[in-house]
Amino acid sequence: MDKEEKVVVATEESGAESQRKGRRSSSRDSNRRGGDDNRQREQSEWEEKIIQVRRVTKVVKGGKKLSFRAVVVVGNHKGQVGIGVGKAAEVIGAIQKGVVDAKKSLINVPLVGATVPHLIVGKQGSSRIMLKPAAKGTGIIAGGAARQILELAGVGDVLAKALGSRSPLNVARATIDGLKRLRTFEEAARLRGISIRQMLA
């Protein structure tokens, strides 16, 4: 073989190898991208909101120990919501712990359309919050921690009023307490052992 023919064969072989490597890398990239997409879909289902971040101190032998406390709410806008509290030496660590704690304490919220089934008063400590059904198009009439929880729970129309203490953590827990004790007409009729027509009569 001449030198020119050897060069041509070598370039063809290198081109084939590069194509094989390219196919392998593209398949690997596609697999990685597919895994990332699945992870993003799983993560995108849940939304997180920070209600409060506070710097807290603990008196120990030799001085004071500083740390952070984060109150976080997690929900999927489809009737599932939960709150969690995380404590750590850094803000990011406290938020991450709060998210994990919130996902452990998820509750299912019964909804009638986009509002709550009936009036309820949630209680926690000295905080109370009243949740009242609202007409379509009213929106979420609430403020502070209650508004964030109701938004992530998927409630679209509701009237809420905080009574008593306005502590963000207690208001959040009172809101969760109220949502947890909600009952649909079907559940209430089943618990009473009567039909829905008899209950509404």
Identify the CATH number of the domain defined by range 47-185.
Answer: 3.30.230.10
Max alpha carbon distance in the chain (Å)? 102
pLDDT digits (tens, 9 = 90+) for 85-100: 999 999 999 999 999 9
pLDDT digits (tens, 9 = 90+) for 137-159: 999 999 889 999 999 999 999 99
pLDDT digits (tens, 9 = 90+) for 3-49: 444 444 444 555 555 455 555 554 455 455 555 555 555 556 889 99
What contacts 93, CB < 8 A, 6 or more positions away?
68, 86
Instruction: Enter the pTM of the model.
Output: 0.74
The DSSP string of 163-187 is EE---HHHHHHHHHHHHHT---HHH
Domains of the chain, by residue range, sit at 47-185
Q: Measure the CA–CA gap between 150 and 171, rounded to whole angstroms.
A: 12
